[in-house]
Chains A and B, each alone.
Chain A
Amino acid sequence: MRVAVAMSGGVDSSVVALLLRDAGHEVVGLSMKLYDAGVARSASEIADEACDATKAKGCCTPEDMNDARRVAAEIGIPHYVLDYSDAFEAAVIRPFVAEYARGRTPSPCVLCNDRLKFRALLMRARALGCAAIATGHYARVDAAGGRFRLLRARDRAKDQAYYLFGLGQNELRETLFPLGEMEKGEVRERARAAGLPVSDKPDSQEACFLEGQSIAAFLSRHGVSSVRGEIVDERGETRGRHEGAARFTVGQRHGLAVADRHPLYVLSVDVGSNRVVVGPRESLAARGLVADGARWVSGVAPAVNAEVLAQVRSRHTPVAARVESTGESMTVRFESPVIAVAPGQAVVVSRGDEILGGGWIRDGFADSSGDVAGPLERRRGANP
């Protein structure tokens, strides 16, 4: 059958194309151009970043497009670069900036999957007569009994199912994740054995469009003002100064110019009063959270108070919880407290290996009542 492969120029999607070709499919390589690399930055800024040894590796730069093209030519499949930079700007970058401006912590990769890869690109693949679209995500689709279930990858260290919670039956029906059963080492080995020019390329990092810039630099370039303000503790006492509240993330520990006997963490970010509230790790503990935009892979929410696992960010080990969902909102109550629940991040609900769905965190709550307002007021440093 004709299958589209979303090729980022990295080793994972390159091996996907290789595996599907070897399986006898008619493979069509599609690369998405998502932004104009380097356009917004001066030459000196780029030069500065080039000297930065920790420079993150993007996935959609012109060099990555070249890599994808070379791989496609190497394995003998057609390859096309599609320009989605306008859609990416509207669906991913602008919400990313707006969320930070509101003091929240966005998840751009989830949005990109939802709106670009498994919507625009999937539609394009259908238009090209492709029966399915394949990506290099580490996740699995199980199709037993006419229902499509989204499962975590066999290689738990590389599992990316968190980013895919927004996929429903219509998307999963036409989606292949050929790496879901493989270990990352095996994938690189396949690439090396086939002589692919990207076999030793480093893994891409989150938020490709940052291109190695700091989030602060990216935000100020996109017009998020950085007004100096106060860092306060839970009692409202000033503990230091910051260079713009929007740049902080709940749970953040680094970058706080505040001295204390114990490590201090960002508890909340209040853009309105331009204040960042800090406190000890214990104060970060949430008993639950409320989320919006709930989506369920099966199309149906779990039973009320169903026992599930909840994951509140990509690098978070899922914890036991109970979930209750009405319409697009959901409440998740953790069995034991969870540290650093950041508004704006995705919460993903799973059972065993199966991703049930997820939503966007509105806020965490610290007591078991589920009353959001009380504990938050306290955390925002209001006088008791």
Chain B
Amino acid sequence: MRRIYLDANATTPMAAEVVEAMWEWLGGDAFGNPSSLHRAGREARKAIDDAREQVAALVGAEPSEIVFTSGGTEANNLAVMGAVRAAGLRRIVTSAVEHPSLLEAARGMERESVSATLVGVDRDGVVDREAFRAAIPDGAAFVSLMRVNNETGNLMPVRDCVWELRGRGVVTHTDATQAVGRIGVDVKDLGVDFMSMSAHKLHGPKGVGALYVRRGARLSPILVGGAQERERRAGTENVAGIVGFGKAAALAHKGLKPRAMKIAALRDRFERELFQRVEGVRLNGHRLARAPGTLNVSFDKADGEAILIGLDLERVAASSGAACASGVAKPSHVLLAMGRTAAEARSSVRFSFHDGNTDEEVDRLIEIVPAIVARVRCEEGPGT
């Protein structure tokens, strides 16, 4: 039985070219520390600079505006803590459906006398532009809105919400972890000061990401004790990972649009068939303003976790939203913010497609998903 991977929002398989590019830095002669003055060091430095150019090119940034991190979580933490501290800000405004690495960082800043306002979303999970703008104070503040929600796939109106804030002493950030490499992302077009990225969401390696830092934007490091990344992120660089990120960015840059259309077509067909074949299905997310690969649905009177396990036993990998630690299923804060009940949130399943999925996989899915849902509904009632 071939496995079907539909959890691209959790992580994606590494591209063969990425693995090949990294391989050079995982053995043999290429092992230098980029901070060293000798030849081995210079070679490593060049590899990182090349990768920086590739990542910058994907998002319309200058290479010097890219700070490599250990991933999206660190990028979000760095943006919140680093920007708020550097500018001595006292207010954070963000949405209630951000990733925990953003929300927890914002909450953590309350210990430093910074207050955080979380703007809610409507039943489709979309932030209301007016409400978001209204929450932003006249004075200085840190404002963050994610580009694509990881659970629903919703596209958030980042440009509309932050464009006019420029030059008003407001520092702006977007978590584009789920967007970069999947939809067109241009930092200049968005008009943000900071933007978080992660390599493994675009067929790159885990353990590497980046924060875009607009030239002139102030940032205090959270990791100190080294001059790496222009003193914005201390620590010897993950050279192989960064090389892999660069390669993944270069691959994503090529043919982004046709790839997005292919993924959307697969997702849309599955979505259409699912709603036809299964009763009591409800879309979690906006029908139109959604990134190509994500389908999040609640199955009335069925436990989402039971469906996920049933799918896994058929070698189909999906998710109930955010990957949960130690197998304990807490209802998603995103779905709760959308006004879903805890039971509705617990009955949700997220399918997230990627470039490697096929029509044949969708054929098999539309056979087995309705059968699994029916069995779960039959064998256990709600609330068990």
Q: Which residue numbers of A lie inside 8 Å of B, CB to CB?
A: 2, 26, 28, 31, 33, 62, 65, 78, 80-83, 87, 120, 123-124, 126-129
Contacts and interface: CB of A to CB of B under 8 A. Distances in A.
B328 A128 contact: no
17 contacts: A26-B313, A31-B327, A33-B326, A33-B327, A33-B328, A82-B305, A120-B384, A123-B379, A123-B380, A123-B384, A124-B306, A124-B379, A127-B378, A127-B379, A127-B380, A128-B306, A128-B313
A78 B375 contact: no
Nearest to B306: A127
B312 interface: yes
Nearest to B310: A128
A65 B326 contact: yes
Interface string B301-321: 001011001101100000000
Nearest to B314: A129
B96 to A, nearest CB: 24
A129 B305 CA distance: 14
Given A81-B328, A128-B310, 9 more contacts: A26-B313, A33-B328, A80-B312, A83-B328, A124-B380, A127-B306, A127-B310, A127-B376, A127-B380
A127 B372 CA distance: 8
Nearest to A129: B375
A39 to B, nearest CB: 12
B327 A128 contact: no
B86 interface: no
Contacts of A124: 306, 379-380, 384
Interface string B358-384: 000000000000000001101110001
Contacts of B328: 33, 81, 83
A2 B380 contact: no
Contacts of A26: 313
Given A123-B379, A124-B380, A124-B384, A83 B313 contact: no
Given A83-B328, A83-B329, A129 B384 contact: no
Contacts of A123: 379-380, 384
Contact of A129 (B303, B313, B326, B380): B313
Contacts of B375: 127, 129
Contact of A126 (B309, B313, B380): B380
B317 to A, nearest CB: 12
A65 B384 CA distance: 21
Given A127-B380, A129-B375, A28 B313 contact: yes
Contacts of B329: 83
A2 B313 contact: yes
A288 B326 CA distance: 48
A80 B324 CA distance: 12
A81 B327 contact: yes
Contacts of B380: 123-124, 126-127
A120 B306 CA distance: 12
A136 B299 CA distance: 34
A123 B310 CA distance: 13
B376 A80 contact: no
Contacts of A31: 327
A83 B305 CA distance: 10
A129 B327 contact: no
A308 B20 CA distance: 74
B382 to A, nearest CB: 12
A313 B384 CA distance: 30
Nearest to A87: B384
B305 A126 contact: no
A126 B310 CA distance: 10
B343 to A, nearest CB: 12
A117 to B, nearest CB: 13
Contacts of A33: 326-328
A381 B26 CA distance: 81
Nearest to A79: B327
A70 to B, nearest CB: 14
A2 B375 CA distance: 15
Contacts of B379: 123-124, 126-127
A168 B201 CA distance: 50
Contacts of B306: 124, 127-128
Contacts of A126: 379-380
Q: Which of A2, A26, A28, A82 has the most CB of B within 10 A?
A: A82
Q: Which 5 pairs of residues, A with B, have the shortest CB-CB distance? A: A81-B327, A127-B379, A126-B379, A123-B380, A127-B376
B310 A62 contact: no
Nearest to B376: A127
Q: Which of A33, A81, A120, A127 has the most CB of B within 10 A?
A: A127
A128 B326 CA distance: 20
A65 B327 contact: yes
Nearest to A119: B384
B296 to A, nearest CB: 21
A82 B320 CA distance: 14
Contacts of A127: 303, 306, 310, 375-376, 378-380
Interface string B92-105: 00000000000000
A129 B328 CA distance: 22
